[in-house]
Structure 1
Amino acid sequence: MMANKEMEKLLDDIMIEHITSAPISELITEYDLTTNEIKITQARFHDRIHECKQKFKKAKLKNARTQLETEKKKHEEVDVVGYLTKKGKGARDILVELFIQQKLPENLTVAHREGKEITDEDAKQILANLIAMGAINIDD
């Protein structure tokens, strides 16, 4: 039963390919169609393709939004204070330690701070982001 459906689908695909690649004059002759009927069919076909593209774009956007919300939740659930308490160190000390041990991602960059030191709040935020991204395992 399954093989029959697959065979029918394959035949349908072959027919569609044949029809879509055939010159208009051949279609008019073979199917006894008028030019107007072909133009109407082409317009319907183009409209359907446009609809499918729009649905695909919307689904892709919806998926991206879902992934973004998942990432946001990860950032909201990070307990930096608990992590710092567990380590018994300050956020800046942990960042320096991770840097020295080369446990930070290779492509990590920190913005130029115009000669200013990083604040504890900045360090906590960087740690929260690294934990949320999975770059730091809080169980270690």
Structure 2
Amino acid sequence: MANKEMDNLLDDIMIEHITSAPLSELMTEYDLTSDEIKITQARFHDQILECKQQFKKAKLKNARAQLEFEKRKHEEVDVLGYLTKKGKDARDILIELFIQQKLPENLTVAHREGKEITDEDAKQILANLIAMGAINIDDKDD
């Protein structure tokens, strides 16, 4: 293991030396022409761009997978079963959770211009809270 670490350290030192060396020194030391150096620089640049593209694609793929996971969590929420178990409607449960201060502190609800929240709105808010983990449907005390 120590040999591998030593090899990596030496590689890093060599890379640092090569990258910080003046162009004329590299041309002399490695018997290179300026065209060969330009070709190598272009290849290196292309490889960096390709690595960046692969990284971006992997990051996007991961983000999509996380989004699909979150979507499935929301689709799997059984709000009607939860409401049936509680024997209450969604608005009553939301009011109860608000009074008991069991809702997340950073929860905000859009201004409704004086309109009352419909049962469907309340069910959706409840489903979202359950999917986010703010409400544990298996908890006997909520």
Query: 1:21-73 deviations in whole A, cap 9, x for unaligned?
Result: 21211211221111111111110111111111111111111110111010000
Bigger shift: residues 13-22 or 36-45 = 13-22
Unmatched segments (≥5 aa) in structure 1: none
* CA–CA separation in structure 1 for the residues paired with 2:89 and 2:72: 24
Q: Report how many aligned residue pairs link the two structures.
A: 139
**1:20-99 maps to which residues of 2 (within 5 A)?**
20-99=19-98
Unmatched segments (≥5 aa) in structure 2: none
Query: What do you get for the CA RMSD once the two structures are aligned?
Result: 0.9
* CA–CA separation in structure 2 for the residues paired with 1:48 and 1:24: 21
**1:100-139 maps to which residues of 2 (within 5 A)?**
100-139=99-138
* CA–CA separation in structure 1 for the residues paired with 2:98 and 2:7: 61
Query: 1:83-121 deviations in whole A, cap 9, x for unaligned?
Result: 001111110000001111111111111111111000000
TM-aligned CA deviation for residue 3 of structure 1: 2.5
Counterpart code for 2:65: T
TM-aligned CA deviation for residue 132 of structure 1: 0.3
* CA–CA separation in structure 1 for the residues paired with 2:61 and 2:22: 39
Q: Give the alignment's TM-score, normalised by structure 1.
A: 0.95
